[in-house]
Structure 1
């Protein structure tokens, strides 16, 4: 029966505390730097706040269940999770493939930190990932890509990596575990920013790594212990509390994204629209094979930067903000951050507003075109 649960049920079940009479239904955070030690040196589950925390464990258990992983590890941000993994798996002399059309900070880290330490960094777009993987030791794929929303064929990429004994890491931030489960498609590790749709309220930074290979996850855990990019106990509790409603929120965000994409594709003020859920989208065929939901982000190209600013100014519901996955619908003009997109490119992250209200608001904010 558990395998047939919907996303909201999965969310609620994942964060459920053990049913012990007299204990709270919702576990409180455990903010602790030091713990009482047992006389037996091997008898204490927790000893110091940089190495373990009860609230981490509950959140990690929930994230592992959602990603279909054996274990998960939480970090202070998505970038903390991703860079910790790269430091572990991309060794001097290795060739690392990173997304040329994905999150720009990942490319910056690879070039500025890993390359000077002897890692050969290769940038490849989504469509080029399988070819690039043939000469790589480690491949990092992001799908759908941020901000362009191209989709990598994860099954094909995983088969290529497996044939070459190449390690495959997949950034699952935009899709979330409700949209796809990369581990089931052959990925070795999943990394993601829980700051986005899983936490969903623009008030906490968090990231995680999920996997089912014990030795590999132990190496990542040692890196977290030594480097210290940990998540605070209260922040972990905030994510855990939010996670129970994440399935419900993501369902509405995807519904809003689909409706908005349909309206935008026929509006005269909009030059192009990208959304994997549109039948005519270049990524639709692949996305349909590997994604359960198409996500809560729409990419739209308007005439210029001023058109993006005017869209937000004329709207009663849109906010200008970077990041994505929150309860408010936000617009981010990505050229301002250095992404290789036009000045009028807008990444629209859909919130949980009523669908008709949102579509009507954006339509009037765009004007006659």
Structure 2
């Protein structure tokens, strides 16, 4: 399945080139710019703008179909979105089973600035409604549990209650799920993962069709100094040029592996939105373009989980996900509320039969 935006994305720069211009995006590595006279309309200073960012954000905006700003990490993007939308006295709701660093940010910093923070599990997120919440932060599928919620319904109900919604779309990317089209106000993502795709950069982005929010996000970046490096922006731009191909391979392989893992005796439980008996299947069919490249398996115990992760030659025992190399880890080691033998498996770009043979052999050896 190919995104209708993928082909056009590859030629956004090319169709604006003059004769003799380089086809590949140049890297502008400069903190200063030649600036005689009035600075209006020109690059001014490296904390404010950079030509490499500008084109990267043009591509990201094309993918999101919305204004977009880049950040030096996914948490940089999440921080910008939250600090741009809350003030002292605000009340926010975040998932208790989502990415744990988002909870840390809310607990250690936002709550100390007079922001009231409440948590709900993804499967119970709509219980109690959204009255009184200024900002509702959602993550679907949740990381690492892969539970999903109806983004359109949440967006509608939060808007009716007078709040705004922020969705973390890291796990599916704009090619797999489009929260803004479902009514979500702000999208954040860690481009460190599948968007960059090669495990060699840290980046993130914020996208929104709300001009006031984006003005605040831009001001936060400029004033706080939470800016991406031009080299990282260049790397991300290069990674985006193969996103469609990589994402298609990863999602297709994940579906095949999930179907085979359900039948393996060593696997006590498996979660993947593309399995018909998964609790998220019906919603994922309606809400997403692809089921994603993440799946989870739970083995018999922690020792066997560690043995599997550390002995499979085509799995990297590493945190993070979305790279060309398949990777796996026990999320309990970071404090996630999951079984000690729960494994988050990120499917990469290896040939699927070769990958399955390695996974099956490692499971058989437990």
Select the residue among 306, 327, 331 that pairs with 1:330.
Answer: 327
Matches of 1:61 and 1:246, distance apart in 2? 16
1:264 is aligned to 2:282: no
Structure-2 residue corresponding to 1:174: 171
So what's the TM-score if we normalise by structure 2?
A: 0.96
Report the counterpart of residue 50 of structure 1 in structure 2: 47
Instruction: Report what 1:219 is aligned to.
Output: 216
Return closer, same or farther for 1:135/1:128 CA change in 2, 3 Å cut-off.
farther
**CA–CA distance in 1 between the matches of 2:115 and 2:365?**
51
Residue correspondence of structure 1 range 3-82 to structure 2 within 5 A: 6=4, 8-13=6-11, 16=14, 18-42=16-40, 44-69=41-66, 71-82=67-78
- Separation of aligned partners in 2, 1:135 and 1:268: 48
Following TM superposition, by how much is the alpha carbon of 1:41 offset from its aligned partner in structure 2, in angstroms?
3.8
- Whether 1:116 and 2:146 are equivalent positions in the alignment is no
Q: Secondary structure at the match of 2:343?
A: strand
Alignment gaps of 5+ in structure 2: none
Q: Provide the residue aligned with 2:87 in structure 1.
A: 91
Moved more, 17-26 or 147-156: 17-26
Q: Deviations over 1:112-166 (max 9, x none)?
A: 1011111110111122323342331100101111000011100110110111121
Determine helix, strand or coil for the equivalent of 2:123: helix
For residues 342 and 7 of structure 1, do their structure 2 counterparts lie closer, same or farther at Cα, with a shift above 3 Å needed? farther
Q: What CA distance in whole angstroms lies between the structure 1 residues aligned with 2:136 and 2:11?
A: 33
Q: Secondary structure at the match of 2:109?
A: helix
Whole-angstrom distance in 1 between the partners of 2:205 and 2:350: 28
Aligned residues: 364
Cα distance in 2, alignment partners of residues 31 and 218 from structure 1: 25
Deviations 1:243-293 (CA, angstroms, capped at 9, x unpaired): 100110011110111111111111111111111111111011111111001
Aligned residue number for residue 304 of structure 1: 301
1:102-251 equivalence runs, <5 A: 102-131=98-127, 132-251=129-248
Offset of residue 314 of structure 1: 3.2
**Large movers: runs of 4+ above 3 Å:** 4-8, 13-17
Please report how far the alpha carbon of residue 37 of structure 1 lies from its aligned counterpart in structure 2 after TM superposition.
1.1
Counterpart Cα distance in 1 of 2:78 and 2:134: 17
Q: What is the RMSD computed on CA atoms of the aligned residues?
A: 1.5
Q: Is the 8 A contact 1:254 1:293 kept in 2?
A: yes
SS of 2:187's partner is: strand
**Change beyond 3 A, Cα 1:16–1:245:** farther
With over 3 angstroms needed to count, the CA separation of the structure-2 counterparts of 1:14 and 1:105, relative to structure 1, is farther
